[in-house]
Amino acid sequence: MKLVRHGAAGSEKPGIVDANGRVRDLSGTIRDIDGETLSPEGLDRLRAIDPATLPLVPEGVRLGVPVARVGNLVCIGLNYTDHAEETNAPIPSQPIIFNKHTGALSGPNDDVILPPGSTKLDWEVELAFVMGRTAWHVDEADALSYVAGYTILNDLSEREYQLEWEGQWSKGKSYPTFAPCGPWLVTGDELGDPQQLDLWLDLNEQREQTGTTTRMIFTCAHIVSYASRFMKLEPGDIITTGTPPGVGLGRKPPVFMKAGDTMRLGITGLGEQQQTVRPRAA
């Protein structure tokens, strides 16, 4: 299944993508796409519905973050060997875990806001997964059974805030609109193996990132198992798994974004996003 949330920001309704790629409205069936809906039982109830019986959503409607009321947005850093190398960082022996504020989440095609005075805004296409069951000290062999589905997340980063200012990475990662997510949440049974996906990102119609999840240092299953040793992952939590090479920081000299720049990005089976950078309104 491909699940979506459609409508104006703050007023999104749940939806499902039918066999013809059209969005159907689920608001008469469920309250929203949240942790309760994403449980194994909740997904089974949705699978029993024939999407053709649901109302069509007008074409071109805005899509929001495909998960409502996200409690935790967990990130894995430097999870591709070639990305670590391009940024002159050591290859990690254990997953690097940090958090983005959930207030950074935005729709897949919403504008990205350039913070006032920012000069080092960077792009990062990433595979993200969403929890469907509570995970706490789970075995890697069983870890993917705790995942409800997969989506795209653009882990936007202000590199000066992240790397040159004191403190945690989170301050360079958490500005509003710094986590465009979607367009869909694709359940694991439809997506297949998450370690066999291609990722790409274009900036102003020029290819910048090309990667494959086969190059991830730590697999999705390993990340679930490892993270669940240190925190209780809850249904609806989003975990994003790191970016392949091609970020602006890795260019020589580095290249960063400015107002008016446009990103387009996608992952096999998960659709595409597009965002334009704009300054914060006065």
Q: What is the pLDDT along the chain (282 residues), one digit of tens a residue?
A: 999 999 999 999 999 999 999 999 999 999 999 999 999 999 999 999 999 999 999 999 999 999 999 999 999 999 998 777 887 778 899 999 999 999 999 999 999 999 999 999 999 999 999 999 999 999 999 999 999 999 999 999 999 999 999 888 899 999 999 999 999 999 999 999 999 999 999 999 999 999 999 999 999 999 999 999 999 999 999 999 999 999 999 999 999 999 999 999 999 999 999 999 999 986
pLDDT at residue 80, rounded to an integer: 92
Strands 271-279 and 262-267: antiparallel
pLDDT at residue 90, rounded to an integer: 85
pLDDT at residue 154, rounded to an integer: 98
| Rounded Cα gap, residues 26 and 136, in angstroms | 31
Scan for tokens 């019986």, then name that residue. 53
What is the set of domains in the chain, with CATH numbers?
A: 69-279 (3.90.850.10)
Scan for tokens 């789970």, then name that residue. 138
Looking from the CA of 91 toward its CB, the CA atoms found within 13 Å total 8
CA-based torsion, 64, 66, 71, 74: positive or negative: negative
Burial (Cβ within 10 Å: 0-12, 13-18, ≥19) of residue 215 = middle
Q: What is the DSSP letter of 181?
A: B
Cα 38 from chain centroid (whole Å): 16
| Rounded Cα gap, residues 66 and 40, in angstroms | 17
Scan for tokens 């409800």, then name that residue. 148
pLDDT at residue 51, rounded to an integer: 97
- Whole-prediction pTM value? 0.96
